[in-house]
Amino acid sequence: MLIAEFLTVALVHFLAVISPGPDFAVVLKQSISHGRFIGIVTSIGVGTGILIHIAYTLLGIGLIISQSVVVFSILKYLGAAYLLYIGFKALKSKAVEHNETETITTSPQKAMTIKKAFLLGFVTNGLNPKATLFFLSLFTVVLSPETPVYAQAIYGLYMAVATAILFSVMSIIFTTEPVRQQFYRIGHWFDRVMGAALIGLGLKLAVTEQ
């Protein structure tokens, strides 16, 4: 039973990860703007952020959050404000001056430290109230009441690791030389488009009912 349950969890989680959202947009922007390594670090931050949702879901706090209008609203508006903040920062992106002989990985990574990249991914996922509802729904609908806590913890750890790996693979794909070269030429416009997308996600999050 646990194997079938795990496979269901893995499938639902995979479909959720590949659906465009704040995590997807942030990792994509980081990868294109700052390079493969920073994109992977951001992906690890996103995966680590999932552990927050897993922890309070297992403790039963997730149910309290989902049922409390005040608590959920606070979390929702904090998440929306953060997306708007990074979205507006991206909108102010300027073209990068570089020589044609300069390697494609020279200057972009200097603007983002490992710590900032990790925290960006971590906070983006951690402040996403939709993630709260997703994991709460997953653990209450898909999982059986008889599922041991240790098994639930294993599922959660798997989802955190799988998320980091999937987004890291995406970072690698989007930073291959041909793709990166093309994006580098129009990088500031890409930043602005992704910034607008993040602002849109933030506004949608702010006005969406629980």
pLDDT at residue 155 above 70? Answer: yes
Please tell me the predicted confidence (pLDDT) of residue 138. 75
Please tell me the predicted confidence (pLDDT) of residue 191. 64
Residue 176 lies in a domain: yes
Segment 135-143 mean pLDDT: 73
Residue 7 lies in a domain: no
For residue 205, the surrounding DSSP H or E stretch is helix 187-207
Please tell me the predicted confidence (pLDDT) of residue 104. 40
- In terms of phi and psi (left: phi > 0; alpha: psi -120 to 50; beta: otherwise), the region of 20 is beta
Residue 4 lies in a domain: no
**Two tokens, residue 15:** 């479909």
pLDDT at residue 97 above 80? Answer: no
Residue 102 lies in a domain: no
Please tell me the predicted confidence (pLDDT) of residue 109. 42
Residue 125 lies in a domain: yes
Task: State the burial class of residue 109 (Cβ atoms within 10 Å of its Cβ: 0-12, 13-18, 19+).
Answer: middle
Position 9: which residue type? V
Task: Say what angle helices 114-126 and 69-91 make with each other, to 10 degrees.
Answer: 140
pLDDT digits (tens, 9 = 90+) for 46-72: 999 999 988 888 887 666 666 777 776
Contact 56, 62 (CB under 8 A): yes
Residue 104 lies in a domain: no
The stretches of 19-148 forming alpha helices (DSSP H) are 22-34, 36-58, 61-67, 69-91, 114-126, 129-137
Which band of pLDDT confidence, cut at 50, 70 and 90, is reported for residue 102? Answer: very low
pLDDT digits (tens, 9 = 90+) for 157-190: 999 999 999 999 999 988 887 766 666 565 556 6
Residue 6 lies in a domain: no
From residue 170, give the alpha-carbon distance in Å to each of 51, 72, 144, 161, 196: 21, 31, 32, 14, 21
Residue 161 lies in a domain: yes
Please tell me the predicted confidence (pLDDT) of residue 203. 79
For residue 150, the surrounding DSSP H or E stretch is helix 149-174
**Two tokens, residue 61:** 């706090």
More confident: 201 or 95: 201
How many domains does the structure of the chain reveal?
1
Domain that holds residue 166: 30-94+109-207
pLDDT digits (tens, 9 = 90+) for 123-135: 999 888 778 777 8
Quick check: pTM over 0.85? no
